[in-house]
Amino acid sequence: MFKAILIEKDDAGYRAGLSELDASALPEGDVTVKVAYSTLNYKDGLAITGKGPVVRKFPMVPGIDLVGTVEESTHADVKIGDTVILNGWGVGENHWGGLAQFARLKGEWLVPLPPAFTPRQAMAIGTAGYTAMLCVMALERHGVTPDRGEVLVTGANGGVGSVAIALLARLGYTVVASTGRPQEAEFLKTLGAAEIIDRATLSEPGKPLARERWAGAVDTVGSHTLANVCAGMRYRGTVAACGLAQGMDLPATVAPFILRGVTLAGIDSVMAPREERLEAWSRLARDLDPAKLDIITSEIGLGDVVDTARRLIDGQVRGRIVVDVN
């Protein structure tokens, strides 16, 4: 038997809670992992609260991230005793996930824990931090260098936002943080933000083009915010768009793209190819200051997951949550 968060949906409704499960119930897979830590991302919050259509099969163990030790393996490249990380691949959506003491997975989904990180640090990064790195890599690919000008990060106090600020500041960019929580300005400045702006300046319907300000942007918010970010990009700037905290819509015009040569770079962490994941994790090992990671991380146990997921979806959680599943 092992402990897990279980989401059920039936005539009695949609509900999530701590359960004891039998190991024989674990899904198909060629690797069994004894999980050490998982995390809570926005998507886990949507799954646990039922606020978004994340879970595709019921009952489901949520958790899109995990780190742990391999207990059984028939996969050629994964050995018993290896410490491995899993991010995405639909785990926690259509395959039982990381908010549990055990998981059974496909070996091809796993990446080795980089030697630079402890298992807990890997989950402090989690999908949010790995996605922040994918966003930074996309800006770099499109020629956004620190000398080009200011870079904007929206949803600054969230998991993706806070890691993106720490990474970009460390790489020498001038980072402007957009937030609805001005009371967290000192925290954002400690991470490396040079200036804080109120997210209300971006969240309402705006003009097709605004003053050219941003050389690059990491947007975790979508909707009117992303439209306004595009409108405020400098000539040939790039926006890495990864999130929808304000909304899934994009009420924008083509003006920034056809008049200013702006690039909208879409970022998906879930199905990103293995080579890009390995590159992102090795860049995180090089470019993320572990001291910054410590200040954005808080830890909870499995018993706190459901309440914390509600607070996360209400925008009350700062930075990253690590879940000690044992």
Alpha helices in the chain (DSSP H): 42-49, 119-141, 159-170, 185-191, 223-231, 255-260, 274-287, 290-296, 305-313
In the complex with ligand NDP, the residue whose CB is nearer, 16 or 26, is 16
Does residue 158 belong to the site contacting ligand NDP (CB under 6 A)? yes
Size of site (CB under 6 A) for ligand NDP: 32
Does residue 157 belong to the site contacting ligand NDP (CB under 6 A)? yes
CB of 54 to ligand NDP, least distance (A): 9
Give the range of 22-30, 114-122, 158-166, 290-298 binding ligand NDP by CB under 6 A: 158-166
Q: Determine which residue in the list 121, 179, 238, 308 makes contact with ligand NDP, applying CB under 6 A.
A: 179
The site string for ligand NDP over 217-256 (x = CB under 6 A, - otherwise) reads ---xx---x----------------xxxxx----------
Evaluate whether 271 touches 249 at the Cβ level (below 8 Å): no
The count of other CB atoms within 10 Å of the CB of residue 253 is 14
Q: Determine which residue in the list 3, 199, 277, 283 makes contact with ligand NDP, applying CB under 6 A.
A: 199
First to last CA, the chain: 13
CB of 61 to ligand NDP, least distance (A): 19
Q: Quick one: which of 143, 99, 141 has its CA closest to 236?
A: 143
CB of 140 to ligand NDP, least distance (A): 18
Evaluate whether 5 touches 305 at the Cβ level (below 8 Å): yes
* Whole-angstrom distance, CA of residue 116 vs CA of residue 113: 8
The site string for ligand NDP over 40-59 (x = CB under 6 A, - otherwise) reads -xxx----------------
Evaluate whether 32 touches 82 at the Cβ level (below 8 Å): no
CB of 181 to ligand NDP, least distance (A): 4
**Which tokens go with 226?**
């992303």
In the complex with ligand NDP, the residue whose CB is nearer, 221 or 227, is 221
Evaluate whether 174 touches 146 at the Cβ level (below 8 Å): yes
* Whole-angstrom distance, CA of residue 215 vs CA of residue 234: 5
Which residues of this protein are in contact with ligand NDP, per CB under 6 A? 41-43, 127-128, 131, 155-161, 179-181, 199, 203, 220-221, 225, 242-246, 267-270, 312, 315
